[in-house]
């Protein structure tokens, strides 16, 4: 038995903070006992326990990032991502180091919905086998795309694979690829339901799949026990993904009432993923982004607030994901920020935002009700933080404030990672260092 003694507990369920001792038995939380003076409580035999003094620290569930691209290694462009990340073994080795940056930022779980090659599946299995140190992980394979492309537009070929994407052009190809990915071991099948086309006149992105194709993906995946997640920026795509039976929707921006009704009637979780837009809006001038681009990204947040709040009021879970893995969102730096955006833009309380980034985000791991909270019978995935996080979420911005990380009740090594450079031909440019808020990265 282990006792975390003397901390201020944020349970991740939205309840008020309390001074309490957290009792761990193996990999699970056995009890949370409100402190009375110096007493641990009459039901606990402290003499047989390992006591960890966390006095003056905030105890909270580890963060869960529901939208993280662990294999991308922070590209500055789609060109770099597609044409310079071409070595599968190297991508896997680098991802195995990058995943450790998440732990040092207090992340104990994440979803990698699409990945280069099959790196996500292999990395997840290596973490679970104890070969690589990393958070709990769920993963997809290559994102399914049509020949109309995704957010990379004309860089997407008419057929075949490129980067993180697989183009499917017929019902047979859809079924074959979904089955192949599930055979490889994916938890999720990701679909790029929208993309960028040169002369599109729609608000947001163009829907590039028909409804019957989306339904085919869902039926094939669900028949084999996998879930489906969609990249949707546009009302028709959100509505069709919801009606087709998608299990989670990324972005869900430019939503109208028809799309909202489709999502709300099915209770489909939304991962808005505003961190990338917020970073570009706030720091784009530092990297030479145009004023028009900065304004467009800021407006994508502002214009989505009303509909996302209506979704929340209708009972739709809004959960936190950051799109970490690009130069604008370096690993280990911004995993807390979606909670901050939820507070500033969506009007969440800090406690509700923490819930969105912990217990609610466990949906992305397939572990809802099992991790993401400090409560009896939950997995002991806990971080100890220097600072009153419920009063200032930016306490989580500095890795030096993360004093302890427990994963399944076991303490994680937070010693600094070795410095690295880039292998030949791997990177075109890197501007992420210009926008790092942390100066003490482990």
- Is the pLDDT confidence value at 68 over 50? yes
pLDDT at 67: 98
**352-372 burial: b if 16+ Cβ within 10 Å, else e:** bbbbbbbbbbbbbbebbebbb
Ordered domains of the chain (ranges, CATH): 2-60+377-411 (2.30.40.10), 63-365 (3.20.20.140)
Of 47, 59, 108, give the one whose Cα is nearest residue 375: 59
- pLDDT over 90 (residue 131): yes
> Counting Cβ atoms within 10 Å, is residue 46 exposed (0-12), middle (13-18) or buried (19+)?
middle
Question: What mean pLDDT comes out for the span 262-278?
Answer: 97
Radius of gyration from C-alpha coordinates of the chain: 21
The answer on pLDDT for 82 being more than 70 is: yes
Q: Which strands make up the sheet holding 107-112, listed edge to edge? A: 63-65, 107-112, 136-139
**More confident site: 42 or 257:** 257
Structure-model confidence comparison of residues 39 and 113, the more confident one = 113
- Quick: pLDDT tens for 330-343: 999 999 999 999 99
Structure confidence by residue, pLDDT tens digits, 241-255? 999 999 999 999 999
For residue 246, which of 200, 323, 191 has the smallest C-alpha distance? 191
Contact criterion met (CB below 8 Å) for 109 and 361: yes
User: How many C-alpha atoms does 89 have within 13 Å on its Cβ side?
Assistant: 0
Angle, vertex CA 74, rays to CA 70 and CA 76, nearest 5? 145
Nearest to 148 by CA among 114, 189, 198, 190: 198
The tens digit of pLDDT for each residue in 184-195 reads 999 999 999 999
- The single residue listed with the structure tokens 């795509």 is 237
User: Is residue 30 pLDDT above 80, yes or no?
Assistant: yes
**pLDDT at residue 383, rounded to an integer:** 98
């Amino acid at each position: 038995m282990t006792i975390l003694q003397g901390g201020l507990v944020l349970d991740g369920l939205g309840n008020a903070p309390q001074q309490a001792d957290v009792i761990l038995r193996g990999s699970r939380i056995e009890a949370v006992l409100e402190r009375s003076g110096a007493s641990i409580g009459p039901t606990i035999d402290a003499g047989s326990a390992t006591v960890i003094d966390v006095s003056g620290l905030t105890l909270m569930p580890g963060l869960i990032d529901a939208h993280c691209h662990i294999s991308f290694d922070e590209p500055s462009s789609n060109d770099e991502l597609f044409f310079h990340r071409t070595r599968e073994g190297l991508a896997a080795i680098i991802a195995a180091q990058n995943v450790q940056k998440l732990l040092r930022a207090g992340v104990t779980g994440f979803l990698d919905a699409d990945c280069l090659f099959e790196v996500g599946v292999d990395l997840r299995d290596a973490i679970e086998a104890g070969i690589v140190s990393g958070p709990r992980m769920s993963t997809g394979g290559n994102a399914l795309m049509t020949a109309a492309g995704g957010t990379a537009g004309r860089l997407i070929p008419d057929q075949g694979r490129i980067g993180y994407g697989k183009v499917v052009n017929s019902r047979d190809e859809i079924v074959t690829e979904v089955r192949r990915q599930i055979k490889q071991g994916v938890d999720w099948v990701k679909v790029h339901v929208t993309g960028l086309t040169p002369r599109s006149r729609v608000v947001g992105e163009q829907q590039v799949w028909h409804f019957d194709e989306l339904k085919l993906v869902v039926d094939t995946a669900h028949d084999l026990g996998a879930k489906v997640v969609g990249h949707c920026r546009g009302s028709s795509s959100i509505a069709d993904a919801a009606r087709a039976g998608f299990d989670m929707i990324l972005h869900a921006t430019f939503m109208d009432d028809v799309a909202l009704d489709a999502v709300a009637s099915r209770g489909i979780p939304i991962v808005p993923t505003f961190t990338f837009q917020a970073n570009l809006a706030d720091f784009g001038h530092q990297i030479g982004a145009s004023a028009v681009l900065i304004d467009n990204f800021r407006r994508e947040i502002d214009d989505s607030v009303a509909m996302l709040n209506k979704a929340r009021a209708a009972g739709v879970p809004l959960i936190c994901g950051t799109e970490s893995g690009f130069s604008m969102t370096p690993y280990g730096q911004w995993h807390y920020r979606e909670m901050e955006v939820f507070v500033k833009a969506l009007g969440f309380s800090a406690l509700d935002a923490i819930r969105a980034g912990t217990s609610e985000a466990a949906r992305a791991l397939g572990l809802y009700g099992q991790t993401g909270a400090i409560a009896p019978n939950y997995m002991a995935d806990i971080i100890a933080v220097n600072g009153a996080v419920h009063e200032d979420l930016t306490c989580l911005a500095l890795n030096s404030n993360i004093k302890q990380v427990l994963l399944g009740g076991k303490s994680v090594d937070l010693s600094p990672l070795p410095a690295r450079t880039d292998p030949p031909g791997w990177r075109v440019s890197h501007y992420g260092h210009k926008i790092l808020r942390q100066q003490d990265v482990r």
